[in-house]
Structure 1
Amino acid sequence: MGRVSQAQAQANRQRVVATASRMFREKGTGVSVADLMKAVGLTHGGFYKQFASKEDLIDEATAYAFDEFGKVTLAESSEDHETARRALVERYLSVSHRDHAGRGCPVAGLAADLGREPDQAARAHDVYLNGVRNSAAQLATGDDDGMAQFCTMVGALVLARATRGNPLSEKLLQAARVALLASGARQSDSQQRTE
């Protein structure tokens, strides 16, 4: 078997990072290197030609997950802030987002793993902290920094995933969605009255 070109090696590395990002959000960072490389279609030994350690991959995959998920943000929306915030709440607290963790929010997907082992992947932890702050900031309105709203969204999503298959799962998503949309409407009305 011949040597892989530099361009092919870089493409392979990107595939490993993208696949790891998806698999870590779906199954946690405990996914084995062997299973990851099998999913990519590469050999286990090829991993160590690309990465110094699994922790390095966790760092890169976490950054990739936030970059990928952050491509649809309120800041990029052409809509007014409240309309965009409402759309974000609706998308985040949807059955589709619940059922597709691999493409979903890395805050919800990686919380348990990074919380259990915060020193394992230092860069991943920093990326995660910034991701939490930035996500909450997208929801901010007036005096509200968005933290409680984001906590509600993440908590509801995690609980809905844990109860999937039971009617309670959809009820959790719906309850959080209704509460957040109602609080946003109250906040918007309050702001309009003070202007």
Structure 2
Amino acid sequence: MRYPPGHKEEKRKELLKAGGALVKERGFAASGVDALTEAAGVTSGAFYSHFASKNDLLKALVESELRASNEMWAANPHETAAEWIGYELDRYLCMSHVRHPEAGCVLPTLGAEIARADGEVKEAYARELAKGIDILAQRLGDKDRAWAFLCQMVGAILLARTMPDQKSQRALIESSKRFLQEAVGGLNNAASMQKPASAKSKRKNPVPRQ
């Protein structure tokens, strides 16, 4: 049977999407090939036509999930740091993210398994994560702040999922959100205090046109 152009790539995307949801819910080690193929609606033969091994799938899943997160950050419509960060905090630090790992970020769900993975998976993970850090750093001023911001968000979701009830989950999420909002507010205040001096300096020492 001859398939139309792009059919194989579409099937690969479907497998990654369905497989990503499954492993974020159950964990990668607990998700066998049969379960992954059933979730994607493909045969095991089709699975191995896309991925050489289950480890190859993990690498592809990590890349796919992190790219999706980076695309979401890049598509944030807000301009100021406070609005941009507020939008991301509302999207990430919410109860639906706590309660539905299958639809959320890969970092709180597969971090431990990535830590046990081989070097190829870790390199792919580090490469895509660095792109996300670059996007955050553009809003927060430098990479140190970007790493701290990301670690706080991921840790908040991870810890909230360990809490025994929604009340404690919500309290943890909201406290983390307030902390990060205050931190970003402090950065904005510091930046605004520096602007007049910077502008004055430019007037005294204008840069010649090239």
Normalising by structure 1, what TM-score?
0.84
Q: Which residue number corresponds to residue 18 of structure 1?
A: 17
Q: Deviations over 1:101-148 (max 9, x none)?
A: 223222222211101224363454334542563465255237963222
Rate the CA distance shift 1:69–1:132 in 2: closer, same or farther, 3 A: closer
Which residue in the other structure is 1:65 paired with?
65
8 Å CA contact 1:89, 1:177 repeated in 2: yes
The CA deviation at 1:153 is: 0.9
In structure 2, what residue type is equivalent to 1:160? A
CA distance 1:123–1:82, change in 2 (3 Å): same
CA distance in 2, matches of 1:94, 1:64: 23
Q: Provide the residue aligned with 1:155 in structure 2.
A: 155
- 1:155 deviates by 0.6
Matched, 1:85 2:85: yes
**Aligned-partner Cα distance in 2 for 1:104–1:98:** 8
**Contact 1:58–1:124, Cα closer than 8 Å, also in 2:** no
Residues 135/176 of structure 1: CA separation in 2 closer, same or farther (3 Å cut): farther
Supply the distance in 1 between the matched residues of 2:120 and 2:193 (Cα, whole angstroms).
Answer: 49
Q: CA–CA distance in 1 between the matches of 2:143 and 2:117?
A: 34
SS of corresponding position for 1:189: helix
| Equivalent position of 1:5 in the other structure | 3
1:73-112 equivalences under 5 Å are: 73=73, 76-112=76-112
1:118–1:125 contact (8 Å) kept in structure 2: no
Contact 1:139 1:150 in 2 (8 A): no
> Which residue of 2 is the match for residue 27 of structure 1?
26
- Separation (CA, whole Å) in 1 of partners of 2:108 and 2:157: 7
Residue identity matched to 1:59: K
Task: Give the stretch that moved more between structures: 122-131 or 8-17.
Answer: 122-131
Name the residue aligned to 2:133. Answer: 133
5+ residue gaps, structure 1: none
| Structure (1 or 2) with the larger CA radius of gyration | 2
Q: Which residue does the alignment assign to 1:47?
A: 47
Between the aligned partners of 1:142 and 1:120, the Cα distance in structure 2 is 28
C-alpha spacing 1:103/1:56, structure 2 compared with 1 (3 Å): same
C-alpha change, 1:102 and 1:131, in structure 2 (3 Å) is farther
Matched residue pairs, number?
193
> Structure 2: where are the runs of 5+ without partners?
196-210
Report the CA distance between 1:58 and its aligned residue: 1.1
Greater Cα offset, 87-96 or 133-142:
133-142
Q: Secondary structure at the match of 1:29?
A: coil
Amino acid at match of 1:86: G
For residues 87 and 12 of structure 2, the distance between their equivalents in structure 1, rounded to whole angstroms, comes to 34
